[in-house]
Amino acid sequence: MLNIQGIHKSFGSLQVINNLSFEVKEGEFVAIIGPSGSGKSTLFQLIGGISTLDGGAILLDEEDIQLKRGTIGYMPQQPCLLPWRTILENVTIVEELQQQPHIEQAQAWLEKVGLAQFENAYPNALSGGMQQRVSFIRAIVSDKPILCLDEPFSALDEFTRLEMQAWLLSIWEQHRKSILFVTHNIEEALFLADRILVLTKRPATIKEEMIVPFERPRSEGIRHSAKFYALKQQLFNYLKEEKDDAYVD
């Protein structure tokens, strides 16, 4: 479905991505982890068509989507809800920009995730976790073939973060949209993903790929299993090898 083929990106003399290739299959949940500054957000900007490639190609269903906007659903680190629009109006904004808002579908989603009574409220009436749910629903309702989630839970407190991970899984396991998920949190990647890609330090390329062996639907219990601890340690060691002493710019 999403096929990243040998892409390169530099900002002036700073080489950020070097010959990076991977794919995300239909219905797959892929997490990306890597050192700070290794180019994860840059990668999303390239996939989202708001930054130009220096080389390589990005294909979605075999179509080149370089510099093509609006082909992916995107959920940023902050919910980015417009404070002057109601929750329902925030959820439908992407489709509204494309002149085809599906109000009933948006309402059905808000109902499904227990936010129906807030559809006419404004974002400031909602907690951080609730705002992130709205942000995710907005990405789903935009009805794109793949969702790119850029550290969506990193600004939340630990308890809410764990709650949101379980919530995201319960929604995703029903619908299985392809997801590409960037996180700094090893445990989060292990709990959520089918496959984890570990990036090298900058310039980023794939250092390791881990197939996550836990069956679905996943329960909280796997976090306490010996296997989970062992894989967590393995990922930690990969990241440690890439630790930042190479960034001397």
Ligand X SMILES: Nc1ncnc2c1ncn2[C@@H]1O[C@H](COP(=O)(O)OP(=O)(O)OP(=O)(O)O)[C@@H](O)[C@H]1O
| For ligand X, the closer CB: 41 or 78 | 41
Strand order in the sheet with 178-182: 73-75, 146-150, 178-182, 29-33, 195-199, 206-211
Please work out the total of residues on this chain that contact ligand X, with binding judged by CB under 6 A. Answer: 11
Q: Is 200 in the site for ligand X (CB under 6 A)?
A: no
| For ligand X, the closer CB: 106 or 198 | 198
Q: Tell me, what amino acid is at 113? A: V
**3-state secondary structure at position 102:** coil
* CA distances in angstroms from 180 to 25, 27, 51, 61, 112, listed in the order given: 10, 10, 18, 15, 23
Q: CA-to-CA distance for 39 and 207, rounded, in angstroms?
A: 13
| Segment 15 to 34, residues that bind ligand X, using CB under 6 A | 16, 34
> How far apart are CB 31 and ligand X at their closest, in Å?
13
Q: Is 11 in the site for ligand X (CB under 6 A)?
A: yes
| For ligand X, the closer CB: 146 or 182 | 182
**3-state secondary structure at position 99:** coil
Q: 54: which 2 tokens?
A: 């220096």
Per-residue binding letters, 31-70, with ligand X (x by CB under 6 A): ---x-xxxxxxx----------------------------
| Main-chain dihedrals φ then ψ at residue 189, nearest 5 degrees | -60, -45
- Please choose, out of 11-19, 21-29, 80-88, 89-97, the segment that lies near ligand X by the rule CB under 6 A: 11-19
Rg (the chain; Cα; Å): 18
| For ligand X, the closer CB: 13 or 99 | 13
| For ligand X, the closer CB: 43 or 65 | 43
> How far apart are CB 197 and ligand X at their closest, in Å?
13
Q: Footprint of ligand X on this chain (CB under 6 A)?
A: 11, 14, 16, 34, 36-42
